[in-house]
Structure 1
Amino acid sequence: MFEDLRRHYVDLAQPRLGAEVTFATDDFFGDKARLIDPAEPVFIPDKYDEHGKWMDGWESRRRRTEGHDWCVVRLGVPGVVAGFEIDTRHFTGNYPPGAEIEACRSDDAVPDEQAGWTNVTGRLALNGDDRIYVPVEHKEPVTHVRLHIFPDGGVARLRVWGRVAKDWSTVGPDERLDLLAMENGGRGIIANDEHYGRIENLTAPGRGTNMGDGWETRRRRETGHDWALLELGAPGLIDEVVVDTAHFKGNYPERCCLQAAPEASGSPEEIAAQSENWPLLLPEVKLEPDKAHVFRDGIADRGPVRFVRLNIMPDGGVSRLRLIGRVAR
């Protein structure tokens, strides 16, 4: 189930989008910043620090007064939240038995009680060393979430799954931007193989930090080639394509091409089947290792496109894919 979430939504609380845990009532045992660490939580049996047992998550001290602990997460970009993933993995005798989540929209780092906080989950029962997904119905874009734990304890990770709510009215008719960028609502839908790196990395901000920060497939031992399917944040007219193989040196694809379509519908698997017959946006081009390839010539005029299929021949890794153009009005 958790893998399927990545096919439909973006984690709005990931640090590379600019998300930050801006406040916690207490993080004595576990730094509040760990709550949104993109890595999977780990347990290191013999690791201790000056406060005691080191735990990979946000953990407050044992509360000896009335009340409960809570923290505030400022999302990287405004978004419409579809659900929350609350992960208590490795917290067994120190997890909170209850939780609740609120959301609001604010320009403040730590919104106060006048910010219009809305309870979007109600009281939730938590178990130790567990991982749950809580869908919500909240149609308005938000910028912050507030996680309450009752009364204290540790939570390994909080994921805020949803869609980026880009305000396209602020983008001028002649303004060129990366319409596939995660911060503009672009997202990965499905790939035939994500053995070493996830498709979502193709849309992430900046250049990849290492080989793990890209999309990489296993070594192909059969005929054919690998592919990834992505959706732009808005329909657009593409006039520049950037295929960045940063850090991929002995494992970059030899060639690639792009197919595109103005619309698609159905499940990720159904859209993938449709994409086999989409027309070319960028014909087959040669790639080189550890390089940002910029293509302007040869891009077909397909009108407004919303979906693209990146084909790599035969396999390998790509760090980022950028589709530069104008929003279709």
Structure 2
Amino acid sequence: MIGNETQDFTKLSDFASVSTGGKVLFATDDFFAVSENLIADSEPIFIADKYTEFGKWMDGWETRRKRIPGHDWCIIKLAINCVIRGLLVDTAFFTGNNAPKFSIQAALLTPEEEELIPERNAGSASSDRDLELVSRLHSEKWKEIVPITPLQPGYEETRRNYVKVASEKAWTHIRLNIYPDGGIARLRVYGEARPQVPPPDQLVDLVSLLNGGVCEGYSNAHYGHPKNLIKPFKGTGMADGWETARRKDRPEIIRSNPDGTLQFTGEEWAVFKLGFPGRIQKLSVDTAHFKGNYPYTVKIEGLNLECDWCPDAKYKWQNILKPSKLSANNEHWYERNSDIITHIRVTISPDGGISRIRALGYVSEI
């Protein structure tokens, strides 16, 4: 199914993006614009009078007009083994030069198989030698998870092409085919991580999306979605974190309590399912890039729940980190020793933004 309406699967993590660890490994042609642009985290832009020595500058992947047999394609390594639930193929600003059709194939490759892919020279066409080397992967025979599908041009009302994927298998690499040539601005690959279970004596980030962590609910995401909090690398800016709107019920005048703390009303929250149940030993709350808009305090609670969290149900949350004052543009670490939990709830007061959270602990059986 393809359509222009936003789908539920976009609430999941994007495992092709640069910020989660995705990487372009091969492309048949990068003449006008390199395929690395496909997996950039930023929204595509258009600069009317910007040109390069090759032609019009475009914020996406654009190949030359095909004048030889075949069609163009590229291989993207996903951040982790994952089940792909859906895709967004964004043709923004490619109006007379968008790829007319596309398809997606997928594979589960070993490190040895990945080494067969020749070293990439971004910004040029692949040589006959490169094509010969990459042919050893037989990527044209990979599992087709999206058949040849028409693409709409990159006008605002038609640019976002959403596609649901039915396969339940986990994949490490995808092949994006365009028919026969043209441009795509961005590719988003939404899914669920399927990592190997770490040994019980290994300290791991239990909430990381690479370990299967998922955001299951939140109160407000006006400027940035809380799923950004569990990305594996440091945040690149405020847009790469979780930021709420300013609460309308905040006091007209901020007053202090006798102990020096400030009086605020209201709070915002986000709930995360851990990739593995476990005991949290260390917590990190990073306010990087949030300087005039960080929360006053943060609180973290845990829950042991064998099923998915439901916003309408009543749960007895256990305290892991009591309300703790935060500071601007700073990484805050806390030593903890929680019970075995499957979910955490991060509550900020009264509002604001944080960049990343880490929940380091040991995997345990429920």
TM over 0.5: yes
Does the 8 Å contact 1:255/1:285 carry over to 2? yes
Which residue of structure 2 lines up, in the alignment, with residue 2 of structure 1? 6
Question: Does 1:119 pair with 2:144?
Answer: yes
Task: Name which of structure 1's ranges 36-45 and 189-198 shifts more when overlaid on structure 2.
Answer: 189-198
Question: Does 1:50 pair with 2:42?
Answer: no
Tell me, in whole angstroms, the C-alpha distance in 2 between the residues paired with 1:20 and 1:4: 25
Tell me, in whole angstroms, the C-alpha distance in 2 between the residues paired with 1:191 and 1:3: 18
Tell me, in whole angstroms, the C-alpha distance in 2 between the residues paired with 1:25 and 1:47: 24
Tell me, in whole angstroms, the C-alpha distance in 2 between the residues paired with 1:158 and 1:319: 23
Which residue of structure 1 lines up, in the alignment, with residue 318 of structure 2? 279
Tell me, in whole angstroms, the C-alpha distance in 2 between the residues paired with 1:260 and 1:6: 26
Does the 8 Å contact 1:275/1:309 carry over to 2? no
SS of alignment partner, residue 122 of structure 1: strand
Question: Does 1:324 pair with 2:360?
Answer: yes
Which residue of structure 1 lines up, in the alignment, with residue 71 of structure 2? 68
Does the 8 Å contact 2:66/2:180 carry over to 1? yes
Tell me, in whole angstroms, the C-alpha distance in 2 between the residues paired with 1:125 and 1:6: 21
Tell me, in whole angstroms, the C-alpha distance in 2 between the residues paired with 1:61 and 1:275: 57
Tell me, in whole angstroms, the C-alpha distance in 1 between the residues paired with 2:69 and 2:314: 57
Which residue of structure 1 lines up, in the alignment, with residue 217 of structure 2? 190
State the 1:211 CA deviation.
2.6
Which residue of structure 1 lines up, in the alignment, with residue 238 of structure 2? 211
Structure 2 unaligned regions, length at least 5: 118-133, 250-264
Task: Name which of structure 1's ranges 181-190 and 56-65 shifts more when overlaid on structure 2.
Answer: 181-190
State the 1:262 CA deviation.
1.8
Does the 8 Å contact 2:10/2:86 carry over to 1? no
Which residue of structure 2 lines up, in the alignment, with residue 179 of structure 1? 206
SS of alignment partner, residue 45 of structure 1: coil
SS of alignment partner, residue 123 of structure 1: strand
Question: Does 1:95 pair with 2:120?
Answer: no
- Say which of 12, 15, 19 aligns to 1:16: 19
1:238-277 to 2 correspondence within 5 Å? Answer: 238-263=280-305, 271-274=310-313, 277=316
Question: Does 1:160 pair with 2:196?
Answer: no
State the 1:275 CA deviation.
6.6
Q: Deviations over 1:260-317 (max 9, x none)?
A: 2222756xxx7234377533232222222222222225x5x4x321221111111111
- Inter-CA distance 319–119: structure 2 relative to 1 (3 Å threshold): same
Q: How many residues align?
A: 320
SS of alignment partner, residue 313 of structure 2: helix
- Say which of 156, 171, 180 aligns to 1:142: 171
Does the 8 Å contact 1:259/1:275 carry over to 2? no
User: Equivalent pairs: percent with the same residue?
Assistant: 41
Tell me, in whole angstroms, the C-alpha distance in 2 between the residues paired with 1:256 and 1:228: 11
Letter in 2 for 1:286: K
SS of alignment partner, residue 2 of structure 1: coil
Letter in 2 for 1:82: R
Max Rg structure: 2
Following TM superposition, the consecutive aligned residue runs of length 4 or more in structure 1 with deviations greater than 6 angstroms are: none
Letter in 2 for 1:123: I
Which residue of structure 1 lines up, in the alignment, with residue 131 of structure 2? none
Does the 8 Å contact 1:229/1:272 carry over to 2? no
Does the 8 Å contact 1:85/1:132 carry over to 2? yes
Tell me, in whole angstroms, the C-alpha distance in 2 between the residues paired with 1:99 and 1:246: 38
Q: RMSD in angstroms over aligned alpha carbons? A: 2.0
